[in-house]
A and B are shown apart, each in its own frame.
Chain A
Amino acid sequence: MNEIVSTRTNPMIDPAIHIWGWEIPVYLFLGGLVAGMMMISGYFLFRGRQKEMATSCLTLPLLSVVLLSLGMFALFLDLAHRWYFWRMYMTFQPASPMSWGSWILLLVYPALLANALIRPPAWLTARIPALVTLSERIGTRSATVKFIGIANMLLGAMLGVYTGVLLSAFGARPLWNSSILGLLFLTSGLSSAAAFVHLVARDEFEQKLLAKADNAFLTAEIVIIGMFLIGLLSSTAVHIEAAQLLLSGPFAPVFWVFVIGLGIVIPLIVQSLAVNHKVAHTPVAPILVVLGGLILRFVIVQAGQVSHWTRLFPSH
């Protein structure tokens, strides 16, 4: 019997920290999704396939700008000293993932805008005719396009990894304390982005290609989750306890049903059957993948806040 009673009752801290509500998971999810989108569209730009991959290269960049802004808005909402958010941009703190993140986000915007400028949509050029000349100048120079593609892939990768590193840098929270988290969130971002294209692409070829890619990403994700958990389970007692939060603890139902089952395994099976013409393509699978990605962020963020180096018995 070990009774640890603490008299501390700080809001958002006790009995376990709950500093981050929905805003941070949503931000991390949108960040990861945009990261995946940037990598996919950047890849096609780099390969010069922007014409055939219409959704990936036309829709994604502009949509990314919107989603990223939503994500940043969520982040803004989370701040306790909201009107001081600009202070993040008054400094660069090399040891702070969050500082890196805010500056990466600042670089991501020009990359996305440049990407979008290659083929600006008609509704935009109708309003700002100057864009047409600008876009022609960029779009016709394959070296520039390639460069933009590389920049998108690179910044996308940084963004995706950052969403995970943000958490994994917190040694204080055993569940997050795994360097694999960056890779996991990047892969999950890629799979969500691919699923998204799969979902909205009109072109059957693009749709199928991205479904196949998604299957690869989902498979990778499963493996990475496995590595993540094994990593924790082979570490100290507190890390094992942290992993158990997902495996058998209070977060297990959501983790197994929504993240693993509905978010990865079922869509993977359905999509594999679909690409092999065993069943018809269904939007359900990619929708599940996207939702699974979102729930993954929620579960990791929330369970991470519960995971702890010491266990308390609150006094009231």
Chain B
Amino acid sequence: MNALSRRKFLKITGFTAGAAAAGTAALRATGVLQPPAPERGTRTVPTSCDICFWKCGAIAHVRDGELWKIEGNPLDPLSEGRLCPRGTGGIGAHFDPDRLRSPLMRKHLRGEEEWVEVTWDEAFDFIAKKMTAIKEQHGPEAVALFSHGIGGNFLKHMIKAYGSPNITAPSFAQCRGPRDVGFRLTFGEDVSSPERTDIRNARCLVLIGSHLGENMHNTQVQEFADAVGNGATVIVADPRFSIAASKAKYYLPVKPGTDIALLLAWMHVIVTEGLYDKEYVAAHGFGFEQFAASLAPFTPAWAYPETGIEPSVIEATAREMAAHKPSTLVHPGRHATWYGDDAQRSRAIALLNALLGSWGRKGGFYTPVSMDVPGYPYPEYPKSERGKVDNPGHKYPFAHETITTGIREATLTGQPYPVKGWWVYATNLIHALPNEAETIKAIQNLDLMVVVDVIPSEIAGWADVVLPESVYLERHDDLNVEWFREPFIALRQPVVPSPHEQKPNWWIAKSMAERLGLGAYFPWKDIEEYFQHRLTAAGLSYERLKKDGIIRGVKQPVYFAEGVTPTFPTPSGKIEFMSPQLQQAGFDPVPVYHRPPPAPPGSYRLLFGRSPVHSFSRTQSNRILSDMMPENEVWVNTDIARRHGLTHGQYVRLKNQDGVVSNRVRVKVTERIRPECVYIVHGFGHTARGLHHAAGKGASDAQLITRYATDPLMGGTAMNMNFVTFEPAEA
């Protein structure tokens, strides 16, 4: 690696920041402004991390006027004073020399990444004109917003005020959607985020592909280590020997896509051996008899050829789970969009938990609580007559959030009504949605495409207008009123100024709304006034929140045993072992296993997941994080590597079933994966021209995901459906 040293890029940012300050220098010369005394010493600012959606409380340190480091905020119940590696390296986002600096408008064709730098005024005027035209021609619903994370709250508010209900994020149909639907259908409630999993107190923890330790959702990893340290029994099912698997008492090298068979066999053992929590099931269960009867054929012997897991291991692990009930947590997973039957798999997980009585119990699923902070009293949003565009005719009857790919589909087809404008905030749709070609085709149907980003990402490359946002260390975001095991609120506030023309989301949304004549929806002067208002209404002190970053509420009961009343907001008011809702909608009321289609001969199923030091496709440009992992590797089983003559560290290209060939990627020859699949970390293989540092490093899983299956219950896009072969690559 011979990239810029940190010292060098500090100088670069220093220089350009200086250039931006040149205007004020003139004022200083006239004596209007006193030159600020150079800042000396170290100061700290409490804020919250935004490298992922966990939003850990953090304390940033500024030394001699320059951002130095960021640590966890000990007051924060999520992080308990310790950030994850991405959070620790998060300051690299501020220093990234490839950042967007000023608003950009495209020069020629979409996707060419040729830009003219414009002022904010010019950008807003252009967008306002287009949005007004779209509204006149197609109605306000024709503008959709893709927005991921708390940062986008004010843009969402702006789009709602404008009159569109079409607001979506990949966190549903590309992530936790199937899980939340599976759990809703069973318990009537979501697992939500942060997950209500009581990992710390689990005596037995079952991870079905959840690769904690690589998936670095902070609280979960901390609690996982506690559980391991306390000697909890860990059972991991994963085709890959993950970090979590290395901590497990039982590692089950399950064949990809066969987890439902495993789950059915586990439940078969637990039911036929009478090991389930009978009292709990009797008190809270609905349709148990029908469900129990449906399990009869699914013996461990039946599951063996499907899953590759020996019957004795299935039996032993089922008994182990039962032995620790109700403190046995079968983790619901998070990124659940795998094979198209994902909501049903999640339901099977929910049912296994129900058998063990873990919902509402210590070491299982707690009941999250939150503080009561009223929203800002805005005027009512205009009502949309046409409704949302993403799920016409409730094709996916159990989708309770907006489906990204549904909006993409509507944009492509103009059905049920046309979509002509996209706002995209903090989501790199090229990496996040399956089948990049469809996304690009949809974009080509638009009259307006606005991307708000911090770096020139792939999706920004397709925009008409790119708006540069301040990174989280330079801005306020909406108040975080968290649902967790104890109530608290948390603040994100600026630590250092933005180095160039970047602006925070709230300012962008407010300024944009004012251009659109929607100023009444942003009655506050600035976000601090907004905070003051909400906090005063809640009887809390903004000054204190500013000083501490966190205000914790009073602890409340979170388990049934502590006094939480068991409520299950399903139609029956009970845990639905058999689901009349599913039956009425024409689906299997109890989970059924369907064998996944086999790999075409000579090819390998492409699996993907997380690296502890990166977040999706957003951190490869962060020099601190990329320093720890500059490119991804393709994991290949030792025998397979030998068969193909591949050596460790060599570059190959991956070619998928549709002939798409990846960027070159190094081979990791390893025993740690099943032979029929290969694995890469998601988010690499950038192609955006402005990502000077990250472009061309590693392979992109998203590029190879040209096929996907859609979950019929809720429209989630299952992406573990692609197969690759190895192609030679230059050294």
Chain A residues contacting B648 (CB-CB under 8 Å) are: 313
Interface residues as binary, B606-637 with A (CB distance below 8 Å gives 1, 0 otherwise):
00000000000000000000001111010000
Chain A residues contacting B670 (CB-CB under 8 Å) are: 3
**Contact yes or no, A314 B649, CB < 8 A:** yes
**Contact yes or no, B638 A1, CB < 8 A:** yes
Chain A residues contacting B631 (CB-CB under 8 Å) are: 316
Q: How far is the CA of A259 from the CA of B123 in the complex (A)?
A: 72
B125 within 8 Å of A by Cβ? no
Q: How far is the CA of A3 from the CA of B672 in the complex (A)?
A: 10
A133 within 8 Å of B by Cβ? no
**Contact yes or no, A316 B671, CB < 8 A:** no
A9 within 8 Å of B by Cβ? yes
Chain B residues contacting A1 (CB-CB under 8 Å) are: 638, 671
Q: How far is the CA of A3 from the CA of B1 in the complex (A)?
A: 24
Chain A interface size, under 10 / 10 to 19 / 20 to 34 / 35 or more: under 10
Q: How far is the CA of A80 from the CA of B72 in the complex (A)?
A: 37
Chain A residues contacting B630 (CB-CB under 8 Å) are: 316
A7 within 8 Å of B by Cβ? yes
Contact of A316 among B638, B649, B672 (CB under 8 A): B649
A91 within 8 Å of B by Cβ? no
**Contact yes or no, B671 A7, CB < 8 A:** no
- Tell me the number of A-to-B contacts counted with CB atoms below 8 Å: 17
Chain A residues contacting B633 (CB-CB under 8 Å) are: 315-316
Interface residues as binary, A277-316 with B (CB distance below 8 Å gives 1, 0 otherwise):
0000000000000000000000000000000000001111
Contact A3/B649 with A315-B633, A316-B631, A316-B666 known, Cβ cut-off 8 Å: no
B668 within 8 Å of A by Cβ? yes
Contact A315/B668 with A1-B638, A9-B1 known, Cβ cut-off 8 Å: yes
**Contact yes or no, A3 B671, CB < 8 A:** yes
Interface residues as binary, B631-653 with A (CB distance below 8 Å gives 1, 0 otherwise):
10100001000000000110000
B383 CB, nearest partner CB in chain A, Å: 55
Chain A residues contacting B1 (CB-CB under 8 Å) are: 9
Give chain B interface residues in 147-180, CB to chain A under 8 Å.
Answer: none
Chain B residues contacting A3 (CB-CB under 8 Å) are: 670-672
Q: How far is the CA of A28 from the CA of B728 in the complex (A)?
A: 43
**Contact yes or no, B628 A7, CB < 8 A:** yes
Chain B residues contacting A313 (CB-CB under 8 Å) are: 648
Q: Among B633, B638, B648, which residue has the most Cβ atoms of chain A within 10 A?
A: B648
Give chain B interface residues in 653-669, CB to chain A under 8 Å.
Answer: 666, 668
**Considering only CB atoms, which chain B residue lies closest to A7 in the complex?**
B628
Q: How far is the CA of A10 from the CA of B1 in the complex (A)?
A: 9
B661 CB, nearest partner CB in chain A, Å: 20
Q: Among A9, A315, A316, which residue has the most Cβ atoms of chain B within 10 A?
A: A316
A149 CB, nearest partner CB in chain B, Å: 53
Chain A residues contacting B668 (CB-CB under 8 Å) are: 315
17 A-B residue pairs with Cβ-Cβ distance under 8 Å, sorted by A, are A1-B638, A1-B671, A3-B670, A3-B671, A3-B672, A7-B628, A7-B629, A9-B1, A313-B648, A314-B649, A315-B633, A315-B668, A316-B630, A316-B631, A316-B633, A316-B649, A316-B666
Chain B interface residues (CB < 8 Å from chain A): 1, 628-631, 633, 638, 648-649, 666, 668, 670-672
- In the A-B complex, list the 3 residue pairs whose CB atoms are closest, starting with the nearest: A316-B666, A1-B671, A316-B633
Given contacts A315-B668, A316-B630, A316-B649, 7 further A-B contacts (CB under 8 A): A1-B638, A3-B670, A3-B672, A7-B629, A316-B631, A316-B633, A316-B666
